[in-house]
Structure 1
Amino acid sequence: MAFADEAYRDSGRFRSVACISMPVDCFESNIKTILNSRTSSSELKWSKIKGDDKARDAIQLFDNVVQLTLQRTMRADVLTWDMHDSRHHNVFRRDDAQNQQNMFRMLFRDVFAKRWGSSINYWNLSVDAQGLKSPELLGRHLDIFGDLSVEVLEADSQDVPFIQVADVFAAIGAYSRQKADSFHNWKRQLNGQQSLLGFGQPLPYESVTKVDEHRFKLLGAFDAVLRRCDMPIVLDSKRGLWTKNPNEENCNINFWPYTPQGDYDKAPVKVR
């Protein structure tokens, strides 16, 4: 079983898609773990993380997801891309809807064919119908690789907790890149360290909104969980969250910052 969602599809420099996947016989125990992490029965989406309550639920969610991935009962994969890179920047008549679908397909191919491999040859994939720019572009059946069969179902994220998990993972992946400099400056200021800008000149104090403050705390808490569990995932000031070696046996969380493969690698364009 797999569940997918996206983040920042129409705004910001960085966009992302995420996939939460697991064997069908792990679903019941995994969903209990996820639901038990919540203090509220309401939908947990990134857009709603603006205060302490939702932030606490999200921190517990990240902790539980990390534990489930360490038990190898689940994967969490996030693909992020930069709208200012050579693939996307200044592409005339760029088709962002088709580009999103291409990124989804790239992620699914990596997750289903490479990460899970031949251990599972049929996937039931639920996607957030509201999150897709053009759902018809993804289709009802995906031809990923070889004998793999992937059936696509549109769903309402409010009714499917694992789509909410995908939403939060997709969002924190893109957000960690979008706010990388601001987060690390905020963290230094929080620790009482003076940030320097060239020739020893101090950076001006950077104020953050209340929403960003809650999300920075969440990002820092997630980083602490990853460090505590010795996950090969880095949160740095340039690339945000990224997985150093996604092929490590104990690493079932992959933050994948996409890089263009060459001059030929361009986003699709709209046909007149």
Structure 2
Amino acid sequence: MNIDIVATHIAYADESYYTKERYRSIAVVTFAAENHDKIKQTFRECIESSEIREFKWAKLRQARERFAAFKIIDVAIRLAVCNHLRIDVLIWDTQDSRHQIRGRDDIANIERMYYHLFKNVLQHRWPSESRWYLFPDQNSALDWASVQDYLDSAGLTISINTDLFGQQPFSIRLLHEFQILQIREVVSAKEPICQVADLFAGIGAYSYLTHSRYMSWLPTEQGQLTFEFGSNTNVSLSNSERERFCVIKYLNERCKNHRLRVGLTSSRGFKTYDPRFPVNFWLYEAQRSNDKAPVKEHSG
């Protein structure tokens, strides 16, 4: 993939658990465009050295995928602490007051979550004059191709006086608020950075979905016994749970080692206490009393 010089920054995005689970998430990996090829090659070598064709959180069920996740985490954190990239994950709870409404439109809600994430990251964590190319996974819940078509057809003919805080199309807000110049859906298997977004989106939501089971497993992993968990713990865990719990533990330890201010235990899932840090997990909470998830429109 050739990156046009007009873009100053790049964003890769992916989603996880967006169809049925209580906790759902989106992740975006961002960095300066000039570093794109080097970062892409670094992650490609990392994944290929694990002897897997593609890393997918949903397929993490055995040791090979677990070790691949360890390597991706090591590289991602090393690049993050050197300020070469950011990883931001937005998680939301479909059972909170914002989302527990009749007729909730989950696709429109994902658009809003992307908007909040982009506003936090693209506007506040990178230079304000940045111009972006966005590369989402082609298996996204959103029809990014249609969003790009809208941008192409509208272009700069849209009035700059448009009320951007009103009910404007998602694509218009991307163009004017975030300077996203192009959106190109990518095949995850061919784009290692998209696989990084997949890992962090997956582990972000999963850390909340399984927190109680993870905390019960942890003492047994550390050679301790608990009355709550008992001796049948290993029997009750699936291979997928065991491998993913190991990855949660590994990421938590690496974040602690690098003092990234990422919590897990008291927050009952990954949460970064200062969003300025380059590995940022954010559990979304309603911003105001009327901040409610969108509902589906019903024709008359």
TM-score by length of structure 1 reads 0.90
Question: In the TM superposition, what whole-angstrom CA distance separates every residue of 1:111-152 from its partner, at most 9, and x where no partner exists?
Answer: 11011132x521000111212244467555443486741021
Please state if 1:179 is matched with 2:179: no
Counterpart of 1:189 in structure 2: which amino acid? T
Match of 2:69 in 1: 58
Higher relative strand content: 1
Match of 1:149 in 2: 179
Match of 1:14 in 2: 23
What is the alpha-carbon distance in structure 2 between the residues aligned to residue 23 and residue 114 of structure 1? 15
Question: In the TM superposition, what whole-angstrom CA distance separates every residue of 1:45-96 from its partner, at most 9, and x where no partner exists?
Answer: 111211111110111100100000111111100000001000111x111100
Match of 1:233 in 2: 262
Please state if 1:188 is matched with 2:214: no
1:2–1:124 Cα contact (<8 Å) kept: yes
1:108 to 118, 127, 146: 118
What is the alpha-carbon distance in structure 2 between the residues aligned to residue 180 and residue 15 of structure 1? 14
Question: In the TM superposition, what whole-angstrom CA distance separates every residue of 1:197-250 from its partner, at most 9, and x where no partner exists?
Answer: xxxxx4555421111000001111111111121211111154310101122xxx
Structure 1 residues 1-272: aligned runs within 5 Å: 1-38=10-47, 39-40=50-51, 42-89=53-100, 91-118=101-128, 120-135=129-144, 138-139=147-148, 141=151, 142=171, 143-144=173-174, 148-150=178-180, 151-195=182-226, 202-204=228-230, 205-206=232-233, 207-236=236-265, 238-247=267-276, 251-272=277-298
Counterpart of 2:31 in structure 1: which amino acid? M
Aligned positions, number: 262
1:86–1:263 Cα contact (<8 Å) kept: no
User: Please, which runs of 5 or more residues in structure 2 have no aligned partner?
Assistant: 1-9, 152-170
| Cα deviation, residue 184, structure 1 | 0.9
1:101–1:137 Cα contact (<8 Å) kept: no
Sequence identity of aligned pairs in percent? 30
Which protein shows a greater Rg?
2
What is the alpha-carbon distance in structure 2 between the residues aligned to residue 131 and residue 148 of structure 1? 20
Report SS of the residue matched to 2:15. Answer: strand
TM-score by length of structure 2 reads 0.82
Instruction: Indicate the larger mover: 142-151 or 96-105.
Output: 142-151
| Cα deviation, residue 32, structure 1 | 2.2
Q: CA RMSD in A?
A: 2.0
What is the alpha-carbon distance in structure 2 between the residues aligned to residue 115 and residue 66 of structure 1? 17
User: Please, which runs of 5 or more residues in structure 1 have no aligned partner?
Assistant: 197-201
Distance change >3 Å, CA 130–CA 223, structure 1 → 2: same
Match of 1:199 in 2: none
Counterpart of 2:179 in structure 1: which amino acid? S
